[in-house]
């Protein structure tokens, strides 16, 4: 009897260990609270529904992004909004205390990023491309790129153990063409969960219903009640997949999905991290169709 119990306990230990190891750990690093939601919200929701681990990181506290609020009061609002957004889609959210519109790719920031990636034991890291209108976005991209190899170097930020395997580093989609246009190496169909993404984004009320509408001169168009706001935001943020994205969808799903998809999130592989095979990508993105 005792032997049977020991064998059963051993089996469950091995099973639990295997299940833990099979979890995919994803870190999405944006410059501001809400950047990760915009770029990866739908994919992150699908990871979370599959019980994988996703961390959204904002390298600034967002304390400059408004027309009549600012400083510590705005930073507190944005941190609370980020926490609510994370709850809505099932991810963790971390906001660093760096000033909005003043971010620089310093050695300290690089080490902060290295520690975050290591502590999360990341398999996948997603960030901005270094070609962007906003200096915070560009400097975020550069800081993450600078950390990409060093997460595996034990003598860098030695207070946190180095990763034994370099994560796959990815860029999120943008429309900038120079010096290089975005290449959709991986495209995820989020059509079925687009409303979940929008619900998560809507937690950032100060951004999507105040600051950005004000910037675009449409503040008076923002609906008053929540349901109408969700519909309005969903319509404003929906962009049809490009021909290149549909071709990528066909590779990762099938022709029917490529033709019918109404909402997607696409990612470009950064050469500074691990170079994944197609088989690696299918493991790391289990929501893909093939």
Question: Is position 13 within any domain?
Answer: no
pLDDT mean over 19-44: 92
Mean pLDDT over all residues of the chain?
94
pLDDT at 21: 52
Residue 158 lies in a domain: yes
pLDDT in tens, 40-59: 999 999 999 999 999 999 99
* pLDDT at residue number 17: 37
Residue 277 lies in a domain: yes
pLDDT at position 289 is: 86
CA atoms of 66 and 209, how far apart (whole Å): 11
pLDDT, residue 273, reads 96
Q: Which domain holds residue 271?
A: 24-284
Q: What is the mean pLDDT of residues 138-147?
A: 98
What are 66-116's pLDDT values in tens digits?
A: 999 999 999 999 999 999 999 999 999 999 999 999 999 999 999 999 999
Split at pLDDT 50, 70, 90, the class of 3 is very low
Question: Which of 209, 215, 210 has its CA nearest to residue 233?
Answer: 209
The answer to whether position 99 is within a domain reads yes
Single pTM value for the model: 0.93
Distance CA 213, CA 215 (A): 5
Report the percentage of the chain scoring pLDDT > 70. 92
Q: Is residue 7 part of a domain?
A: no
- Which pLDDT value is given to residue 9? 40
Q: Does residue 30 register a pLDDT over 50?
A: yes
**Domain with 44 in it: what CATH number?**
3.40.50.10320
If one counts the domains in the chain, the total is 1
Give mean pLDDT, residues 135-157. Answer: 98
Q: Is the pLDDT of residue 141 over 80?
A: yes
pLDDT of residue 18: 39
Amino acid 6: pLDDT: 41
The 3-state secondary structure of the chain reads CHHHHHHHHHHHHHHHHHHHHCCCEEEEEECCCCHHHHHHHHHHHHHHHCCCEEEEEECCCCCCCCCCCCHHHHHHHHHHHHHHHHHHHCCEEEECCCCCCCCCCCHHHHHHHHHHHHHCCCCEEEECCCCCCCHHHHHHHHHHHHHHHHCCCCCCCCCCCCCCCCCEEEEECCCCCCCCCCCCCEEEECHHHHHHHHHHHCCCHHHHHHHHHHHCCCHHHCCCCHHHHHHHHHHHHCCCCCHHHHHHHHHHCCHHHHHHCCCEEEEEECCCCCCCCHHHHHHHCCCCCC
Share of residues in the chain with pLDDT > 90 (%) = 91
Residue bearing tokens 């909402």? 263
| Burial label, 234 (beta-carbon count in 10 A; 0-12, 13-18, 19+) | middle
Residue 94 lies in a domain: yes
| pLDDT for 148 beyond 50 | yes
Q: Would residue 128 count as lying in a domain? A: yes
* Residue 205: predicted pLDDT: 98
The stretch 204-229 carries a mean pLDDT of: 98
Position 283 pLDDT exceeds 90: yes
Residue 133: pLDDT over 70: yes
Residue 15 placed within a domain: no
Indicate if the pLDDT at residue 218 is higher than 90: yes
């Amino acid at each position: 009897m005792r032997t049977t119990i020991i064998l059963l306990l051993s089996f469950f230990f091995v099973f639990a260990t295997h299940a833990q190891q099979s979890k995919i750990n994803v870190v999405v690093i944006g410059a501001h609270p809400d950047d990760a939601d915009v770029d990866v919200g739908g994919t992150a929701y699908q990871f979370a529904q599959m019980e994988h681990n996703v961390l959204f990181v904002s390298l600034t506290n967002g304390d400059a992004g408004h027309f009549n609020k600012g400083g510590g009061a705005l930073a507190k609002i944005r941190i609370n909004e980020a926490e609510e957004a994370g709850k809505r889609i099932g991810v963790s959210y971390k906001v660093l205390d760096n000033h909005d519109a003043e971010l620089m790719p310093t050695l300290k920031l690089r080490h902060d990023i290295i520690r975050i990636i290591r502590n999360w034991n990341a398999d996948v890291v997603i960030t901005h491309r270094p070609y962007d209108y906003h200096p915070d976005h560009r400097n975020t991209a550069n800081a993450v790129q600078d950390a990409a190899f060093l997460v595996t170097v034990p003598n860098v930020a030695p207070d946190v153990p180095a990763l034994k395997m370099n994560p796959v580093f990815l860029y999120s989609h943008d429309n900038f063409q120079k010096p290089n246009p975005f290449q959709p190496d991986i495209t995820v169909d989020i059509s079925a969960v687009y409303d979940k993404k929008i619900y998560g984004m809507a937690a950032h009320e100060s951004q999507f219903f105040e600051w950005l509408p004000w910037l675009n001169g449409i503040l008076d168009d923002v609906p008053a009640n929540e349901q109408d706001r969700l519909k309005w935001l969903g319509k404003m943020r929906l962009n049809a997949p490009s021909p290149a994205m549909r071709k990528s969808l066909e590779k990762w799903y099938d022709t029917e999905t490529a033709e019918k998809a109404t909402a997607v999130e696409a990612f470009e592989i950064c050469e500074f991290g691990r170079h994944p095979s197609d088989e690696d990508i299918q493991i790391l993105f289990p929501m893909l169709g093939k």
